[in-house]
Each structure stands twice: as C-alpha cells, then as structure tokens.
Amino acid sequence: MAKDENDDGDTGTFKVTEGWLKGEARTRVLGLQGWLQSGPDYATLGEYATESGVHKGLLAGSGTLGPDATLHKVFTQLCSSLKTQLDVLGDGFTTMSIDMATVDTILQNSEDDAALTADQMNLELANALKEFGGTPTAPPSP
C-alpha cells in the first residue's frame, strides 16, 4: 500500500499497490483469524461450551442467583454462543483473505482483460440498475 505523495501525514488517500492485497493485507487478516481461533483462551472457551461439568473458577457470587445448575447451564450456553460467533468471524476472515487474493489477481490482470466496450459497460450498469428497481436512461451520444 502506498501513501499519496501529497498527503499531509495525518489524513488522505492510500493507494493499494500490486501485490499488497495478496501479500501484507492477506497475511494480517489470516494472522487475526489465527489469533482468534487458537491459543489457550479459545481452547478454554471450547471446553466451557461443552457440558463437561468442569468450570474452574466459576463462582456464583452474592445476591439472589438461581441454583448452581442453572448458572452452569446459562454459562455453557453463553460460551457456546461466543465460540460459534468467533468461528463465524474466523471463517469470514478466511473468506476475506481469499477475496483479497482474487481482487489482487483481477487488478493485476485488468490491463490485459480491459476488453469491455462502452456499450457492454452501459448494458451491465443498466442490468444492475434494474435489479434495484431503477430505470436506465439512454447513454449519451459519442
């Protein structure tokens, strides 16, 4: 990724350079996915998400709480739900990394594949507009 030369250093436009999506960006996304779905905390969450009956350090506290079996059940459901969401998020990161590699390939090949004519582009845009309930207008004369 390259910074715009006219940028003041704090805000501005970044340009995605060739290979960045497939390289550094993809590596960072997969690193985040690995961090979410590995390590002792994730493994402990997986154990808590089962009905193993072992919840070390889970204390009911004080006040008016239900029976410990109810607390155990609700905590297990919470951990199961959280683990499921982390798995969905991790799967999303995997999909995003694949999409970034695909986009990178498309961008690198775009000059060679730029055979779309203006008429073809107008047809594609008109089709997309129709999908959202719009009505295409006639393209301007050349």
d(CA 43, CA 98): 26
Q: Per-residue confidence at 63, pLDDT binned at 50, 70, 90?
A: low
Q: Per-residue confidence at 62, pLDDT binned at 50, 70, 90?
A: low
Q: Per-residue confidence at 60, pLDDT binned at 50, 70, 90?
A: low
Decide: pTM greater than 0.75: no
What per-residue confidence (pLDDT) applies to 92? 87
Neighbouring C-alpha atoms within 13 Å toward the C-beta of 37: 17
Encoded tokens for 96: 């995003």
Spatial neighbors of 140 by CB under 8 A, at least 6 apart, are none
CA nearest neighbour of 32 among 68, 51, 24:
24
| β partners of residue 14 | 3
d(CA 106, CA 110): 6
Quickly list DSSP for 45-94: HHHHTTT-S--TT----SSS---HHHHHHHHHHHHHHHHHHHHHHHHHHH
Q: Per-residue confidence at 81, pLDDT binned at 50, 70, 90?
A: very high
